[in-house]
Amino acid sequence: MRTLTRLSALTALLALAAPAPAGKFNRTLSVGDPAPAWEGLEGTDGKTHALADLKDKDVVVIVFTCNSCPIAEGYEDRIVAFAKTHAGPDAKVGLVAVNVNTARDDALPAMKQRAAKKKFPFPYLYDPTQEIARKYGAKFTPEFFVIDKDRKVVYMGAMDDKAPPGEVKAKHLEVAVAAALEGKPAGTAETSAAAGCGIKFNKKKDD
């Protein structure tokens, strides 16, 4: 009996000590976790940006993308269209694109050229430290995160169910944003990322 009691106590202690489970596809964040903040990230507009700048937005969409991935490039028109429809200056939704790749084609000068060419109606930010992508557990480009008014993660994964130029049938991002605006959970809260390119993480000493 004493052995069973000890085992029960040990199990309880291990459960308390165990880390919170991450998502099905994301090994860092779970839906419902606080969204990692960022600050001081330089944008293609020559300004520095922080999550706090979007305090007036009830919902924020973060998309990790880059210049060099053809799938990410193929999604750009969809992202621009989404931003124009749902994330205008007076909308309750904000959208921010973040690039963490550090190769020449993905560095800030190239980002500025891409943003100007495509006339991005949203901030396109550069994080050469790559820390914000690591904190979000982002692995691919493009990969989307939706955070609600309480700055909790309510959706993460793909924008939709098809990579360009396939026909879109399930608009995961739009559905998640609409639910978040109503204070409701997304019907599908997590999907695998689009079949894009892996983020090119630089080696760290502890990797």
Per-residue pLDDT of 48-66, as tens digits, reads 999 999 999 999 999 999 9
In whole angstroms, give the CA distance from residue 60 to residue 137.
17
Does the pLDDT value for residue 78 go beyond 90? yes
Residue 125 and residue 98 in contact, taking contact as beta carbons nearer than 8 Å: yes
Does the pLDDT value for residue 13 go beyond 50? no
Task: Enter the CATH code of domain 30-35+55-193.
Answer: 3.40.30.10
Does the pLDDT value for residue 10 go beyond 50? no
Does the pLDDT value for residue 113 go beyond 90? yes
Per-residue pLDDT of 121-171, as tens digits, reads 999 999 999 999 999 999 999 999 999 999 999 999 999 987 666 688 889
What confidence tier does 205 reach under pLDDT thresholds 50, 70, 90?
Answer: low
Domain ranges of the chain: 30-35+55-193
What confidence tier does 20 reach under pLDDT thresholds 50, 70, 90?
Answer: very low
Share of the chain above pLDDT 90, in %: 76
DSSP assigned state of 34:
B
Report the SS3 class of residue 60. Answer: strand
Contacts (Cβ under 8 Å, ≥6 apart) of 100: 64, 66, 126, 127, 128, 129, 130, 132, 133, 138, 199, 201
Four-residue CA torsion sign, 100, 55, 115, 176: positive
Does the pLDDT value for residue 107 go beyond 70? yes
pLDDT average, residue stretch 1-17: 37
pLDDT average, residue stretch 66-94: 95
